[in-house]
Amino acid sequence: MSEHKDWVVGIHAVSQVLTKQPNSVQRLLLRSGRDDIRVGKITELAATAGIKEERVDKNQLDQLVAGSHQGVIALCELQNSAKDARFLTQMLDSLERDPLLLVLDGITDPHNLGACLRTADAAGVDAIIVPKDKSASLNTTVRKVASGAAESLNFVVVTNLQRCLEALKERGIWLVGTADEAKRSVYDQELTGAVALIMGSEGKGLRRLTRETCDFLVSIPMSGDVSSLNVSVATGVCLFEAVRQRA
């Protein structure tokens, strides 16, 4: 499994790495003067793992990473945590309950992908599936926005999404796609049992083949002047409707 060095940014993401992959941390940088409870937890995790923290000023942190870092960054030698189709098959074979899967058909914005990961983790999704091409990867931005979910979720990258969807159908997993023009509301769709919820790309929605492969197409009822929701928000609405039904 390949490895690469990258900055993990933010309190939640760094905490998850220190908890689950402490051996991957090469450097831990904390903003000078920040000694609140949340940073104290990171200090404790680092001490337990034998990792020495470095105190630096905010300008140094700003030069190393872009965006909000909350005064906490870690340089990590991360394994490529993306799983493949073989792993997905093994995982589904081992599950003793009906799976809830999230398929992202071409989410290219790393902020949206990170937000989808965070929501999927909160909803108890068993795996997120994305195509190898035309999808954002697990980069620094995704890990930051995901707030640790990138280290805890099964993130599956498949070469041929269409083939993967057909294989899921053969296993008896219902494919529920989202489309703005769909007549059926997500609130009227049964989302219990083995389900894969499929979200389309930010601009174009589901690709034609993906749409044709779905067993059902659903939409989110809209009352205002806005015609659609951001994909990460729509993902949250649909996933937690599934959570509500499955409870």
Q: How many domains does the chain have?
A: 2
Residue 206 belongs to domain with CATH number? 3.40.1280.10
Q: What is the pLDDT of residues 72-125, one digit of tens each?
A: 999 988 665 788 999 999 999 999 999 999 999 989 999 999 999 999 999 999
* Integer Cα distance of 68 and 82 in angstroms: 25
**211, 219 Cβ separation under 8 angstroms:** no
- Say which residues have a Cβ less than 8 Å from residue 239's Cβ, sequence separation at least 6: 100, 102, 119, 120, 123, 125, 197
Range of the domain at 163: 85-246
Q: What is the pLDDT of residues 14-37, one digit of tens each?
A: 998 898 888 889 999 999 988 899
By C-alpha distance, which of 4, 144, 129 is closest to 79? 4
Beta pairing class for 127-131 and 155-158: parallel
Query: Under the phi-then-psi rule, with left for phi > 0, alpha for psi from -120 to 50, and beta for the rest, what region is 50?
Result: left
Local confidence band at 2 (pLDDT 50, 70, 90 cut-offs): very low
**139 in the same domain as 179:** yes
pLDDT of residue 125: 97
Cα dist from 114 to 28, 145, 209, whole Å: 22, 5, 25
Q: Helices (DSSP H) in the chain: which residue ranges?
A: 11-20, 37-49, 58-64, 85-94, 110-123, 140-146, 149-152, 161-170, 208-213, 231-246
* Integer Cα distance of 96 and 78 in angstroms: 30
**195 in the same domain as 222:** yes
Tell which of 37, 64, 79 closes a domain: 79
Give strand pairing partners of 79. Answer: 3
Residue 1 has pLDDT above 50, yes or no: no
**159 in the same domain as 141:** yes
**98 in the same domain as 70:** no
Tell which of 31, 47, 79 closes a domain: 79
**204 in the same domain as 90:** yes
**90 in the same domain as 73:** no
**113 in the same domain as 72:** no
Residue 6 has pLDDT above 90, yes or no: no
**236 in the same domain as 161:** yes
